Amino acid sequence: MDEMYQRHAELCKVFASPTRLEIVDLLRSKELSVTALVEKTKMGQANISQHLAIMKYKGIVTSRRSGTNVYYALADSRIVAAFDIICEVLAKKRMIGA
């Protein structure tokens, strides 16, 4: 039971980084290569690779190789659902002014 919260927290840590959230958002509808993610996020390549490695290890994304490119995609569509719920909560907070 206690270990369950630990596992839950480990998974949530994935969403505790702005860069990883941006990656999730970019992958919500289609897979993208590392290069594409680097261009869109305007972050360093090593950094993006590290974040993708973390997300893959946590089971949030999958990867597939095609030539020299590696394409990443979300492993579970419910991730987007959770993402959007947090956005709703944020939007509500804005209105209240918190």
Partner DNA sequence: GATAAATATTAGCGTATTCTAATATTCTTA
Partner DNA sequence: TAAGAATATTAGAATACGCTAATATTTATC
Contact residues for a second copy (CB under 8 A)? 2, 4-9, 11-13, 15-22, 25, 59, 76, 78-79, 81-83, 85-90, 92-93, 96, 98
Phi, psi (deg, nearest 5) at residue 2: -65, -40
Backbone angles phi, psi at 88, to 5 degrees: -65, -45
- Among a second copy, DNA, none, the one that 21 touches (CB under a kind-dependent 5 to 8 A) is a second copy
DSSP E strands in the chain: the ranges are 32-33, 61-66, 69-74
Q: Which is nearer to a second copy, 39 or 69 (CB)?
A: 39
Q: 54 contacts which partner out of DNA, a second copy, none, CB within 5 to 8 A by kind?
A: DNA
Residue 97 interface partner, choices DNA, a second copy, none, CB cut-off 5-8 Å depending on type: none
**Measured between alpha carbons, how far is 7 from 84 in angstroms, rounded to an integer?**
22
